Amino acid sequence: MSDTVLMTATVQPNTNIFVSQSDPEMRMRQYQEAIAAMRTGISKSVDLVIVETSGADPSSLTALLSPAGRTATRVINFDATESDPERGKGRVEADALRHAIRIVRDQKGALATVHKVTGRLIVANAARIFAALPGPIVRVRSTLDRTFVDTRVISARAQEWESVVLRDSAFIDESSGVYLEHTVAASLAHAAALKQIRLERFPARPRIWGQSGSTGGTYSGGPNSAVSGAWGWIERQLAEVASRKQV
pLDDT digits (tens, 9 = 90+) for 220-245: 554 444 444 444 545 555 544 433 33
Which tens digits make up the pLDDT trace of 189-213?
999 999 999 999 999 999 998 866 5
Q: Residue 41's CB: how many other CB atoms inside 10 A?
A: 17
Per-position pLDDT tens, the chain of length 247: 689 999 999 998 865 544 555 788 999 999 999 999 999 999 999 999 999 999 999 999 999 999 999 999 999 999 999 999 889 889 999 999 999 999 999 999 999 999 999 988 999 999 999 999 999 999 999 988 889 999 999 999 999 999 999 999 999 999 999 999 999 999 999 999 999 999 999 999 999 988 665 555 565 554 444 444 444 545 555 544 433 333 3
- 28 SS3 class: helix
pLDDT recorded at residue 222: 47
H or E element in which residue 26 lies: helix 24-41
H or E element in which residue 194 lies: none
pLDDT recorded at residue 239: 47
Main-chain dihedrals φ then ψ at residue 34, nearest 5 degrees: -70, -40
Q: Are 181 and 150 in contact (CB under 8 A)?
A: yes
Q: Are 29 and 9 in contact (CB under 8 A)?
A: no
Contacts of 57 (CB under 8 A, 6+ apart): none
Main-chain dihedrals φ then ψ at residue 5, nearest 5 degrees: -95, 125
pLDDT recorded at residue 210: 81
pTM of the model: 0.86
**Closest residue by Cα to residue 47 from 5, 109, 8, 100:** 5
User: In CATH, what class is 4-203?
Assistant: alpha beta
CA 186 to chain centre: 17
pLDDT recorded at residue 232: 53
Q: Are 246 and 201 in contact (CB under 8 A)?
A: yes
Beta strands across the sheet bearing 208-211: 122-123, 208-211, 218-220
- Where does the chain show beta strands of DSSP type E? 4-9, 47-52, 73-77, 113-118, 122-123, 137-142, 149-157, 198-200, 208-211, 218-220
For β-strands 122-123 and 208-211, DSSP reports them as antiparallel
- Which sequence spans correspond to the domains of the chain? 4-203
Tell me the one-letter amino acid at 138: V
